[in-house]
Amino acid sequence: MKLILAIVQDVDSRDLLDALVAAGYRATKISSTGGFLVRGNATILMGVLDEQVDHVLSILRERCHSRREFVSPAMPLSEAAAARHWVEPLEVEVGGATVFVLDVQRFAQL
Ligand code: 2BA
């Protein structure tokens, strides 16, 4: 068994959960915050059989989309940003999904 941990954009999470449940998977959404943009995102936990991992990844690919975001330097500038002369809005590409696939040692529903 594997634990798939996927960090996705909030805006994609409803559609993703609908697709996962429709395909017969179980999933848990945790509200999370990205460390860089400090904006809300969603962390989806899914316990799946080894042979289901590729199918779940294909659903993630289909339902989660990359987007370009602009981030303005916070005022007043942090020391680190000021040291790097970061004053212009910065464009970053936020990926569709950041995925970790972990081995599960034991699974129980009590
Ligand atoms: P954030 O940390 O808010 O990062 C959002 C986007 O900002 C990132 O998109 C990347 O394009 C950019 N970014 C992040 N850290 C940066 C840095 N130190 N310098 C320059 N640009 C930076 P993604 O890479 O697609 O990440 C989307 C979200 O997935 C992240 O939100 C974070 O919540 C999570 N994530 C990504 N990689 C991770 C990792 N290795 N471990 C844990 N969480 C991760």
Name the residue among 70, 61, 72, 62 with its Cα closest to residue 98. 61
| Closest approach atom of ligand 1 to CA 93 | 11
pTM: 0.89
Ligand 1 centre to CA of 64 (Å) is 15
Q: Are 12 and 94 in contact (CB under 8 A)?
A: no
Helix ranges restricted to H, the chain: 10-22, 53-63, 79-83
Joined together, the tokens standing for residue 12 give 């994609």
* pLDDT (tens place) for every residue of the chain, 110 residues total: 999 999 999 999 999 999 999 999 999 999 999 988 888 999 999 999 999 999 999 999 999 999 998 877 654 555 665 666 656 778 899 999 999 999 999 999 99
Q: Is the CB of 37 under 6 A from ligand 1?
A: yes
Joined together, the tokens standing for residue 107 give 């699974």
